[in-house]
Amino acid sequence: MGGFDGFDDFEALERRQHDIAALTPPLWRPGPGPLVVGGAFVAFARGEQGPGSAGDRAVVGAAATRDATALAMTVVDGRAPAPYRPGLLAAREGALLEAAVRAVQDEGVELDVALVDATGRDHPRRAGLAVQLGEVLQLPTVGVTHRPLRAEGPEPVDEAGAWTDLVLDGEVVGRWVRTRVGVRPVAVHSGWRTDPGTAMDVVLRVTGEARTPEPLRLARMAAREERSRRGGTWESADRAG
């Protein structure tokens, strides 16, 4: 369906979300060999008014790992083409994340799947940014966030690898996953061509000593280190949708 051009038209974006949600691409399953996984994370400049405006400065970290071992890291920058609106995160971050993932691919890394700090099927139109980014890139995706957007489910027991379903309107759209003992679980979302089980398997496979899966942790670290290098005051926002 093309890239993220025109996603600052919120009504058009809602229609496109409905269209993408109605697609039925074949589900992706990881093969038996090492898994090459990308991650991308957006950090925005602090100081603008409100939750986010068009033109806000952004730095985006991207990384790739083979299972949980680092392969590549890169940073791109730009400006948000649209303000933040709940459920319409693609208008603000989609093009930035697309550029970052493509920058990793331009390093010669052939990704099997990508992780992004956004929801997937846990969305009022079943097409959060994780789904939309995958459709644009034609790459399987998984969303990983601190909390669900609309889905609900009890937290899993305090055991590494424990999980519970996240359910929205009777549909399982993701899972709470406990990646480490003694820390809060992460919300793992079905994205483009992934179901909850595959999404969870990918996250557990690429999680090391930290709570956050390595590709996403490295991408976040790259973005934060770059903002520190540049000076000034920056923030990263945990957005939904």
Compute the average pLDDT of residues 201-221. 97
Q: Tokens 């992934």 sit at which residue?
A: 194
Kindly indicate the confidence band of residue 241, based on its pLDDT and cuts at 50, 70 and 90. low
Residue 215 clears pLDDT 80, i.e. is over it: yes
What is the pLDDT confidence band of residue 164, given thresholds at 50, 70 and 90?
very high
**C-beta of residue 77 within 8 angstroms of C-beta of residue 99:** no
More confident residue, 106 or 229: 106
3-state secondary structure of 98: helix
- Tell me how far apart the alpha carbons of residues 171 and 168 are, in angstroms, rounded to a whole number: 5
The tokens describing 230, both together, are: 């540049």
Q: Look at residues 235, 123, 143 and name the one whose alpha carbon lies nearest to residue 193.
A: 143
Residue in 114, 16, 22 with CA at minimum distance from that of residue 63: 114
CB atoms within 10 A of CB 170: 5
pLDDT in tens, 146-157: 999 999 999 999
- Helix, strand and coil percent figures for the chain, each rounded to 5: 30, 25, 45
Q: In 3D, which of 222, 209, 218, 162 has the Cα closest to residue 186?
A: 162
Is 47's pLDDT higher than 60? no
Q: Is residue 87 part of a domain?
A: yes
The fraction of the chain above a pLDDT of 90, given in percent, is 83
Residue 63 lies in a domain: yes
Between CA 99 and CA 28 the distance in angstroms is 23
> 171-177 and 186-190: which strand pairing?
antiparallel
* Residue 4 resides in a domain: no
- Is the pLDDT assigned to residue 5 strictly greater than 90? no
* 3-state SS assignment for residue 39: strand
Using DSSP's 3-state secondary structure scheme, residue 143 falls into strand
**Would you tell me how many other CB atoms lie within 10 Å of the CB of residue 53?**
14
Rounded to an integer, what distance in angstroms lies between the CA atom of residue 223 and that of residue 159?
30
Q: Taking 90 as the threshold, does the pLDDT of residue 227 lie above it?
A: no
pLDDT over 60 at 238, yes or no: no
- Which pLDDT score is estimated for 46? 60
Structure pTM? 0.93
Q: How far apart are CA 56 and CA 235, in angstroms?
A: 11
| Residue 5 counted as domain residue | no
CATH number for 77: 3.30.2170.10
Residue 240 lies in a domain: no
Mean pLDDT of 66-92: 94
Domain that holds residue 90: 10-235
- Residues 105 and 42: their CA atoms lie apart, in Å, by 17
> Considering the domain boundaries, does residue 2 fall inside one?
no
Distance from chain centroid for Cα 37 = 12
Please check whether residue 18 lies inside any domain of the structure: yes
The reply to whether 241 falls in a domain is: no
Beta bridge partners of 65: 37, 70
What is the rounded average pLDDT of the residues 58-81? Answer: 95
**Total of domains in the chain:** 1
